[in-house]
Chain A
Amino acid sequence: MRLNLTLYIILIFFAMATVNSEHQYRNNFSQLDVEKKTMLELKDEKTKLEVEESDKSGNQRIQTIALEKLKMYTPNKKEIKVIR
């Protein structure tokens, strides 16, 4: 009788532990899924930044800024000094 009671208590204990571990697993898995979604969002953000970088470093933009804003130009013959 005493043995049966002990086994019964152990059974209850492991059953509770199993339920708890399953709960923990699902919580963790759900968290992992959230993190994966965050990773994908960050990947999209990175793509956006790459496109923005490409846009900002575009040759056409650089040329326009150099000519119009910075007033840069190709030096003429008189301005070229040859160092020998």
Chain B
Amino acid sequence: MINTRKKQQEFFELSKIRRRFVLLILLSLFFALFSRAIYVQGIKKDFYQKEAKDRSDRTIKLHAYRGKIIDRNNNVFAVSTPIEEITVNPSILVITAKQKNKLAGLLSLSRGELERRLQKKKEFVYLNRQLSPKKAAQVMALNIPGISSKKKYKRFYPAKEISAHLVGFTGIDGDGLEGIEYFSNKLLAGEPGKTRILKDISGRIVDKIQDVKIPRDGQDIQLSIDKRLQYTAYRALEKAVEKHAAISGSAILLDAKSGEILAMTNYPSYNPNTKLKSKDFLRNRVITDIFEPGSTIKPISVSAALESKSIMPHSIIDTTARYYKVGRHIVRDTHDHGKISVAEVIQKSSNIGAIIIGDKVESKYLWNTLNNFGLGKKTKVSFPGEVTGTLKHYKNWRKTDHESATFGYGMSTTLIQLAHSYTVFANEGKIKKVSLLKTEGPSIGRRVISIKTSNQMLKMLESVVKDGTAEHARVNGYRVAGKTGTSKKLGPDGKYEDTYIGSFVGIAPVSMPKFVIAVMIDAPSEGSYYGGNVAGPVFSTLMAEALKIYSIPQDGFLEIDKQKRETKPDSII
């Protein structure tokens, strides 16, 4: 009995030790867990929160590439190139004086300007928004805490001033501000996307959680422009404007069969790659500026007379009157041409002859013809800022308006409208729709005058270049047709000034018309101001180049021993 009790006591004593031992272990484990909880949630709280944030999902913006603008032969006119945006967080910036010197040099900032930016009490300051990737890498190699770099894209225009008016430019945020960049901004820009991703601690994207918005890259735009002809047109204009000390010059070259614009340029121009752009020369004056076309309209009014059978090509017009009174204005010819044929009225550019012929046509018929040639309405070319020009409705015409219209006064046109109207003579009486975008093959035209009248007019226009007022517009080896125009400029007070606009519109080769070119020189002040003399050489240079580049067979005689002849002046009021 005693023995049994002793055994029980020993058992309980042993058990008590075990229980305490187990309890101690459990308490130790609980303490360890509790300590770990305090460590994780208290002491290392910031570290773990940062780790969690790094691993958590985030929404990132996906870049959409802006489309390129290219010419008809895939030459680049506008393209987005990578640049780096350098920013600083001055609140965490740690920088030495030596680093400041290096940084200022790389960022092209003065030391004072850099200091001013670094001392701003903000968390985000731009240091340079358009730094080359090479220089940005050098900046980042300085390892300055607080300075960061972000990849962006900047528009670059390799053709510089040659295509500036056409292509336009974008602002610092990448949106188009002028030209095609502005007109087709939505198409070019595309749409940036968004996606939710999961990153690991080393910054690698390990999973895509959801596509919030799929990015859509911008589309490339292929223009109808031929860069080679654009260059030739610009250089020829530059030469003419400088030679005659003119305010500006504009030129447009159309493919007569398709209506495509192969060149459209203005001088002076600007470099779209630089920040400073003169506001005076931002407009594409071929499309936005209007002027009184003058004698270049005569072939259209004569077409109306021929088409209505009011006259015949061999009809004789008596222009012996030294002047003709149109309203308050006296209209003269430069010479007394006497009795001349209709063809000679065009060839000699007789204002009196044009008025006499125009008087034989009803106002409604004349207005309809002018309107059908595209005057007084937009060409609807894909370009911003196109103006309509003015062509008063025939119901509101007085006799003066009717007579003025026959020789291109009392109305206004743009250069593109003028070139557009001459596609009628180049297409046997059909007008073609103009296009700034590349098209395939010839386009369907709308008949304006009969084939017979159109051919008669083309012949008359050829005589202008052959024996008339446009000798300087000749192209060696080719038959050329065209018409000069010299009109007085209207001043701000509505009165005519002693400054002129010299213009020329022409077609070549006459046997199978391929190109139509219109050239306008604004206010030539040195040498001649006649359209044939100032705009004719630009036409000749550009047409010769176009015919050569497109391998158009010659249809005329080579004038190897061409003698310098005096150009006959065009008629002006």
Check A29 against B205 for contact (C-beta < 8 Å). yes
Interface status of B308 (Cβ within 8 A of chain A): no
Given A47-B81, A59-B228, A60-B231, residue A33 in contact with residue B205 (CB < 8 A): yes
Main secondary structure of the interface of A (DSSP, over half): helix
Docked complex Cα distance between A33 and B62 (Å): 13
- A44: chain B residues within 8 A (beta carbon): 81-82
- 0 or 1 for each of A22-57: is its CB under 8 Å from B? (1 = yes): 000110011001000000000110011011011101
Cross-chain contact B558 with A82 (CB below 8 angstroms): yes
User: How many inter-chain residue pairs (CB < 8 Å) link A and B?
Assistant: 50
The answer to whether the Cβ of A80 comes within 8 Å of any Cβ in the partner chain is: yes
Whether A29 touches B206, Cβ cut-off 8 Å, given contacts A55-B158, A59-B228, is: yes
Nearest to B217 among chain A residues (CB) is A43
Question: What's the Cα separation between A29 and B82 when bound, in Å?
Answer: 26
- A51 and B158 contacting across the interface, CB-CB below 8 Å: yes
- Verify A54–B65 contact, CB threshold 8 A: no
Measured in the bound complex, the distance between the Cα atoms of B204 and A26 in whole Å is 10
Asked whether A77 lies within 8 Å of B208 as measured between CB atoms, the reply is no
A interface residues, how many (CB within 8 angstroms) = 21
Which residue in B79, B207, B232 is a CB contact (below 8 Å) of A47? B79
Q: Name the residue of chain A whose CB is nearest to the CB of B558.
A: A82
Interface flag for B227 (CB, 8 Å): yes
Looking across the interface, which residue of chain A has its beta carbon closest to that of B156? A51
Quote the shortest CB–CB distance from A22 to chain B (angstroms): 9
Contact of A54 among B75, B200, B208, B560 (CB under 8 A): B75
Residues of B within 8 Å of A33, CB to CB, are 204-205
Give Cα distance in the complex from A61 to B207, angstroms: 50
B204 and A54 within 8 A (CB): no
Is B205 touching A30 in the complex (CB atoms < 8 A)?
A: yes
- Chain B residues close to A by CB (< 8 Å): 65, 75-76, 79-82, 156, 158-159, 162, 200, 204-208, 227-228, 231-232, 558, 560-561
Q: Enumerate 26 A-B pairs (CB-CB under 8 Å) in ascending A order.
A: A25-B207, A26-B200, A29-B205, A29-B206, A29-B207, A30-B200, A30-B204, A30-B205, A30-B206, A33-B204, A43-B65, A47-B79, A47-B80, A47-B82, A48-B81, A50-B79, A51-B76, A51-B79, A51-B158, A54-B76, A54-B159, A55-B158, A57-B75, A60-B231, A77-B561, A82-B560
Give me 9 other A-B pairs in contact (C-beta within 8 A), A33-B205, A43-B65 excluded.
A26-B206, A29-B207, A47-B80, A48-B81, A51-B76, A51-B81, A53-B76, A57-B75, A59-B231
